[in-house]
């Protein structure tokens, strides 16, 4: 008798930005059974073509909106340029996503900062180079 559940317990993630760092994290995630890389998004056509080749089971996108709207996606990896990161972090919080971020940003991230979204205070964790910071 098969007693294993058919429920996928892996963490469903959308990768936004498939440049050098996005590919680095994609590669690390593919080496672990913990991650289900559902989406890869990049505005660069060459990066999207590479993503299709390297990750044929992922949905490849130019616009990240579908990643945020997919309620089954638990985590977004933000591996984009710093000038778009604050907007993406705020969007991820609005949609209830956990966030992986890897570079210093042009804005401070500190435990005391809270984000006001639609009149509600919400707390989310942001993982930044091995430490977790709470917004």
What share of the chain has pLDDT > 70, as a percent?
71
User: Which residues, in sequence order, are bridge partners of residue 13?
Assistant: 37, 75
pLDDT for the residue numbered 106: 53
| 36: Cα within 13 Å, side-chain hemisphere | 10
pLDDT tens, position by position, 81-122:
888 888 899 999 999 999 998 755 555 554 334 444 333 444
| Helices assigned H by DSSP within 1-135 | 20-30, 45-54, 65-69, 82-94
Rounded CA-CA distance 124/9 in Å is 21
User: Which residues, in sequence order, are bridge partners of residue 37?
Assistant: 13
Note whether 85 and 105 are within 8 A (CB): yes
pLDDT for the residue numbered 113: 44
**Residues 103, 106, 111, 113: what is their CA dihedral angle, to the nearest 10 degrees?**
-150
DSSP label at 59? E
pTM above 0.85, yes or no: no
pLDDT for the residue numbered 104: 56
The residue written with tokens 């998004």 in the block is 41
Rounded CA-CA distance 102/23 in Å is 12
The arrangement of strands across the sheet holding 59-61 comes to: 59-61, 35-41, 11-16, 75-78, 98-101, 125-128, 131-134
pLDDT for the residue numbered 65: 97
pLDDT tens, position by position, 2-60:
545 557 799 999 999 999 999 999 999 999 999 999 999 999 999 999 999 999 999 99
53 vs 1, more confident: 53
Rounded CA-CA distance 52/125 in Å is 30
């Amino acid at each position: 008798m098969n007693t294993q559940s058919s429920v996928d317990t892996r963490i469903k993630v959308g990768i936004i930005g498939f440049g050098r760092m996005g590919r680095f994290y994609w590669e690390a995630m593919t080496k672990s059974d913990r991650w289900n890389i559902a989406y890869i998004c990049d505005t660069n056509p060459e990066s999207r073509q590479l993503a299709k080749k390297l990750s044929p089971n992922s949905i490849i996108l130019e616009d990240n909106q579908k990643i945020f709207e997919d309620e089954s996606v638990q985590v977004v990896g933000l591996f984009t340029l710093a000038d778009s990161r604050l907007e993406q972090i705020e969007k991820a919080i609005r949609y209830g996503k956990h966030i992986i971020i890897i570079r210093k940003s042009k804005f401070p991230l500190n435990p005391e900062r809270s984000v006001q979204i639609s009149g509600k205070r919400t707390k989310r964790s942001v993982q930044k180079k091995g430490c977790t910071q709470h917004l």
